[in-house]
Amino acid sequence: MKKTFLVLLTTFLISLSVFAQVEPNEQLNPLITGVPSLTITPDSRGGGMGDVGAATTPDINSQHWNPAKYAFMESPAGFSFSYTPWLSKLVSDINLLYAAGYWKFDEQQSVSASLRFFSLGEIKLTGERPEDDYGTAHPNELAFDLAYSRLLSEKWSAAVAFRYIRSDLNNGINNSADPMYPGNAIAADVATYYRTPIEMSTGDANLAFGLNISNIGSKISYDQNLTSIFIPTNLKLGGSFDYPFDDYNKISISADINKLLVPTPIKRLEGESDTDYDARRTAYYETGPIAGIFKSFGDAPGGSSEELKEIMWSVGAEYAYNNQFFVRGGYFNENAMKGNRKYFTAGVGFKLNMFQLDAAYLISAAQSNPLDQTLRFTLGFDLNGLQNLMR
């Protein structure tokens, strides 16, 4: 029915519509999850560096990338707001709003929070007959999380985050024989960050590594738990190197790898009977979220070669002048078999004592990618700067 269709439409709009042309010899077999908006880069700094952020220098928006980085922040508190028009080449009313903030209540500990709201615009619900009119829905997804981070040593920190997720794809409109209900889920992140200085003739450089396993939690259901689907549990691992040319000029080079920790969807095997296929499908949907994490490392139909294709990688660079003016660039790559998202990114930033303004732009490297020309804007505020301004 139309409500089930709306779920599929929404999921595929976000996660599958970004697919560009696939090589003729590749069989498309992407990993499908619920609430895919959780994987969208929310801020302009990470978005300008090829969606890199696990080990980059700490900033206000570290909540999405690696909350363990907050323990290394120099300012005691800050907050930011980000706006991203999404799939703007297809529609004009889909967007992502994101707010993040943190507070260091002593030299070793900090708390942080973020709120993500993803609006899918306006969708008219109809039946199989033209005269069927079930109203207009404004589907949306939101996530709110809190995190605690702590220094474990001078060079090492760790963090844990807890997240509430809500996905409402029809705003309570259930006039059909196939009703849908808002989906709710809870999840947690576990993260760590390591940074060590390296003495160089031009000043102290920094080498850093970061790890974040995000969205470890329950599955989500739109039919009151009759069926459920995985949320995008993700493993993110990254490294970064900051090199100062002199007292005013610095460049950072970073790289991340990502892997969704969800099982590969079931496909019918050649010559497989209906009974065996249905049994495998039932086993797939009955797999629990923790079991799914372990299963995700070895369940791809193509074996280890396909498992490797599920790894996404990205690289990025940032040039900073006097820690006030920033220029960024990066590249993101996903295998054609798993989605074929391939794009370059560029970004700029300007920072004063009390605020920072950043913007990012996406340039597709694959044909017919609706993510092409995506813009992001972020405005951040430093509490120290605001306090000094008010004195």
CA distances from 87 to 67, 132, 308, 345 (A): 28, 29, 28, 15
Looking at residues 302-316, what average pLDDT do you find?
92
What pLDDT score was predicted for residue 189? Answer: 97
Residue 2 has pLDDT above 50, yes or no: no
Q: Which of 94, 235, 231, 101 is nearest to 166 (CA)?
A: 231
Q: Which residue has the higher pLDDT, 197 or 386?
A: 197
Residue 8 has pLDDT above 90, yes or no: no
- Tokens standing for 358? 């950043």
What pLDDT score was predicted for residue 15? Answer: 46
Range of the domain at 333: 2-390
CA-to-CA distance for 386 and 391, rounded, in angstroms?
9
pLDDT (tens digit per residue) in 137-148: 788 999 999 999
Residue 31 CB: number of other CB atoms within 10 A?
20
Residue 20 has pLDDT above 50, yes or no: no
CA-to-CA distance for 193 and 211, rounded, in angstroms?
7
Helices (H), the chain: 2-15, 44-48, 62-65, 274-286, 289-295, 304-309, 383-390
Q: Provide φ and ψ at 215, rounded to 5°.
A: 60, 45
Looking at residues 208-218, what average pLDDT do you find?
97
Instruction: Identify the DSSP state of 328.
Output: E
What pLDDT score was predicted for residue 177? Answer: 57
Secondary element (H or E) of residue 215: strand 203-217
Confidence band of 7 (pLDDT split at 50, 70, 90): very low
Looking at residues 239-263, what average pLDDT do you find?
95
What is the share, in percent, of the chain residues with pLDDT greater than 70? Answer: 85
Q: Provide φ and ψ at 124, rounded to 5°.
A: -85, 130
Residue 112 has pLDDT above 50, yes or no: yes
What's the whole-number average pLDDT of the chain?
86
CA-to-CA distance for 209 and 241, rounded, in angstroms?
9
| CA quadruple 358, 191, 73, 78: dihedral, nearest 10 | 50
Residue 120 has pLDDT above 50, yes or no: yes
Domain of 383, CATH number, reads 2.40.160.40
What pLDDT score was predicted for residue 201? Answer: 78
CA distances from 5 to 165, 222, 268 (A): 21, 12, 22
Residue 225 CB: number of other CB atoms within 10 A?
11
Q: Looking only at Cα atoms, what is the longest distance across the chain?
A: 76
Instruction: Identify the DSSP state of 47.
Output: H
What pLDDT score was predicted for residue 9? Answer: 47
Calculate the CA 333 to chain-centre distance: 14
Q: Provide φ and ψ at 71, rounded to 5°.
A: -65, -20
Looking at residues 111-127, what average pLDDT do you find?
85
Query: How many structural domains compose the chain?
Result: 1
pLDDT (tens digit per residue) in 217-242: 999 998 888 888 999 999 999 999 99
Instruction: Identify the DSSP state of 48.
Output: H
